[in-house]
């Protein structure tokens, strides 16, 4: 009887458990040392003194309600001392952000540390949408979110001015309709360049006063706003190419599917 020869290759030996355990232990030790070094670095960072304060304001947006000196003076006023020279652990970054964001012209503030102990303060200003000058001689801005902003002695924003019967409360229908109308105008470059004033009548209707020409556009309420601006665009493109804008005194958009114009009597 012939002996059968097993031609199968020998199976590779399993990794040595000791070597695997040794390798795992090495990783654990390395991680432990990394945590110690990192912890030491964080502790050292907290104990480090603030070497300088760098303030950045979004002036590239064309808004100049605030400058670096205003922010620096505000922080100094909060704590009766400069941040420079203070240890990092004693500076409450969240508190500074909250206090800066309480300034009427500030939309958002972000405070963070940089290299070599520097503190960076980034400030985003509120963006005004319109200025209100009502019948009670009360004047203020409304930002794009509908929040009130005071006027500034440093800077005057070039926005639409709303006059007439505008109440000083944000709960009125006229208030919200005015915001809706101004947002519509602001998102279109043509209309944004066209109008400088919106007058609110006692009945709550809106009258648009363009920058060019002596006519008044009786807009009415904000219902069917798209259709009204479409009609007005047709008037500008089709009618005024043959006539002078100075020929008209009133352009009435309040009637459905038509424009009623009143000419000047020279």
Question: In sequence order, what are the residues at sequence separation of 6 or more whose Cβ sits closer than 8 angstroms to the Cβ of residue 30?
Answer: none
Lowest-pLDDT choice from 3-12, 102-111, 228-237, 247-256: 3-12
Task: Answer yes or no: are the C-beta atoms of 217 and 232 closer than 8 Å.
Answer: yes
Residue 23, SS3? helix
User: What's the pLDDT at 243?
Assistant: 66
> Is 231's pLDDT higher than 80?
yes
User: What's the pLDDT at 238?
Assistant: 82
> Is 244's pLDDT higher than 60?
yes
User: What's the pLDDT at 137?
Assistant: 86
- Max CA distance (Å), the chain: 133
Q: Burial code of 81-119, b = ≥16 C-beta within 10 A, e = fewer?
A: eebeeeebeebeeeebbebbeebebbbebebebeeeeeb
Lowest-pLDDT choice from 59-68, 148-157, 239-248: 239-248
> Is 38's pLDDT higher than 60?
no
What's the CA gap between 144 and 157, in Å, rounded? 13
User: What's the pLDDT at 213?
Assistant: 76
User: What's the pLDDT at 142?
Assistant: 94
Apex 101 CA angle, 99 and 107, nearest 5: 170
Apex 62 CA angle, 54 and 101, nearest 5: 50
Task: Answer yes or no: are the C-beta atoms of 143 and 126 closer than 8 Å.
Answer: yes
pLDDT in tens, 42-97: 445 556 899 999 999 999 999 999 999 999 999 999 988 889 989 999 999 999 99
> Is 9's pLDDT higher than 80?
no
What's the CA gap between 114 and 52, in Å, rounded? 10
**pTM (two decimals):** 0.75
What is the rounded average pLDDT of the residues 24-52? 64
User: What's the pLDDT at 37?
Assistant: 47
> Is 209's pLDDT higher than 50?
yes
What is the rounded average pLDDT of the residues 179-193? 94
| Mean residue pLDDT across the chain | 84
pLDDT in tens, 113-144: 988 889 999 999 999 999 999 888 889 999 99
Which pLDDT band, with edges at 50, 70 and 90, does 14 fall under?
low
């Amino acid at each position: 009887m012939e002996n059968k020869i097993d031609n199968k290759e020998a199976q590779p030996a399993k990794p040595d458990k000791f070597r695997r355990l040794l390798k795992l232990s090495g990783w654990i030790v390395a991680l432990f040392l990394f945590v110690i070094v990192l912890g030491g670095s964080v502790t050292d960072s907290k104990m480090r003194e603030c070497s300088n304060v760098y303030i950045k304001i979004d002036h590239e947006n064309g808004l100049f309600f605030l400058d670096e000196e205003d922010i620096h003076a505000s922080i100094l006023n909060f704590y009766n001392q400069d941040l420079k020279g203070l240890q990092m652990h004693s500076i409450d970054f969240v508190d500074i952000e909250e206090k800066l964001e309480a300034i009427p012209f500030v939309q958002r503030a972000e405070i963070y540390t940089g290299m070599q102990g520097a503190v960076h303060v980034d400030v985003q200003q509120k963006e005004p949408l319109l200025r209100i000058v009502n019948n009670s001689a009360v004047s203020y801005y409304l930002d794009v979110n509908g929040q009130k902003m005071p006027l500034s002695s440093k800077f005057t924003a070039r926005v639409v001015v709303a006059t007439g019967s505008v109440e000083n409360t944000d709960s009125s229908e006229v208030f919200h309709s005015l915001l809706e109308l101004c947002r519509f105008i602001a998102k279109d470059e043509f209309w944004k360049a066209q109008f400088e004033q919106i007058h609110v009548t006692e009945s709550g209707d809106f009258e648009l006063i363009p920058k060019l020409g002596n006519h008044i556009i009786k807009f009415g309420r904000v219902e069917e706003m798209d259709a009204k601006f479409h009609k007005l665009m047709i008037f500008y493109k089709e009618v005024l190419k043959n006539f002078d804008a100075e020929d008209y005194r009133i352009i009435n958009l309040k009637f459905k599917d038509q424009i009623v114009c009143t000419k000047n009597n020279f």
